[in-house]
């Protein structure tokens, strides 16, 4: 089970750790507008987060989600052509909540209230470069795999830098996040 994720904005990679050991590396896409925490910025928030909600456990691959609910649709080229402006959220959602008061939690910089997710995308060919509206986009098979292997206390560090050693913790996400 993965207990720590590190998203490197510089590398456009998500690193998954278990017990301080790197287990998997995924290519992602963060915000076209770059890093930033302000509400309505279209930026990817930095800092320490935790996964507050996991959505889509039993959905089929490429399931279309809107408002964190399955529309009953499965993504297709025809659907994309019918709704070309839609920001496609597919397969699974990992809804992030910030841990750092004043940086990514509460007020004008609240990751959770900004609806920042790690989710599947229709634009898999664009992964590896900044392209999202603030979320962290992944290949659909990758988000399904990641989703299934996450520990309940999984922390997510988002930084502009290359991967760092995982935060060493023996406490719950609640105590770690409240301590900041």
In Å, what is the CA distance from 26 to each residue of 110, 141, 171?
Answer: 25, 11, 26
Q: What pLDDT score does 174 carry? A: 57
Q: What pLDDT score does 161 carry? A: 85
Print the domain residue range for 25. 2-178
Is the separation of the CB atoms in 97 and 118 below 8 Å? no
Q: Read off the pLDDT of residues 146-177 as tens digits, 9 standing for 90 and up.
A: 999 999 879 999 999 887 656 555 445 555 66
The total number of structural domains in the chain stands at 1
Q: Read off the pLDDT of residues 39-88 as tens digits, 9 standing for 90 and up.
A: 999 999 999 999 999 999 999 999 999 999 999 999 999 999 999 999 99
0.85 cut: is pTM over it?
A: yes
What residue has token string 């935060």? 167
When the pLDDT of each residue in the chain is averaged and rounded to a whole number, the result is 92
3-class state of residue 55 by DSSP: strand
The residues with which 15 forms a beta bridge, in sequence order, are 6, 25
Is the separation of the CB atoms in 64 and 53 below 8 Å? no
CATH of the domain at 148: 2.40.440.10
């Amino acid at each position: 089970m993965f207990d720590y994720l590190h998203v490197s904005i510089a590398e456009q990679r998500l690193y998954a750790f278990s017990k301080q050991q790197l287990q998997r590396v995924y290519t992602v896409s963060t915000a076209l507008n770059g890093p930033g925490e302000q509400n309505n910025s279209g930026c990817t928030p930095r800092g320490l987060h935790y996964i507050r909600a996991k959505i889509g456990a039993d959905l089929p691959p490429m399931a279309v989600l809107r408002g964190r609910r399955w529309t009953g649709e499965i993504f297709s080229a025809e659907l994309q052509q019918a709704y070309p402006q839609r920001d496609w959220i597919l397969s699974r959602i990992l809804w992030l909540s910030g841990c750092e008061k004043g940086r990514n939690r509460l007020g004008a910089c609240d990751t959770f209230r900004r609806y920042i997710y790690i989710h599947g995308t229709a634009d898999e060919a664009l992964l590896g470069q900044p392209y999202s509206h603030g979320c962290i986009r992944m290949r659909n098979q990758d988000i399904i795999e990641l989703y299934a292997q996450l520990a309940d206390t999984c922390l997510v560090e988002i930084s502009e830098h290359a991967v760092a050693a995982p935060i060493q913790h023996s406490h719950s996400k609640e105590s770690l996040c409240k301590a900041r």
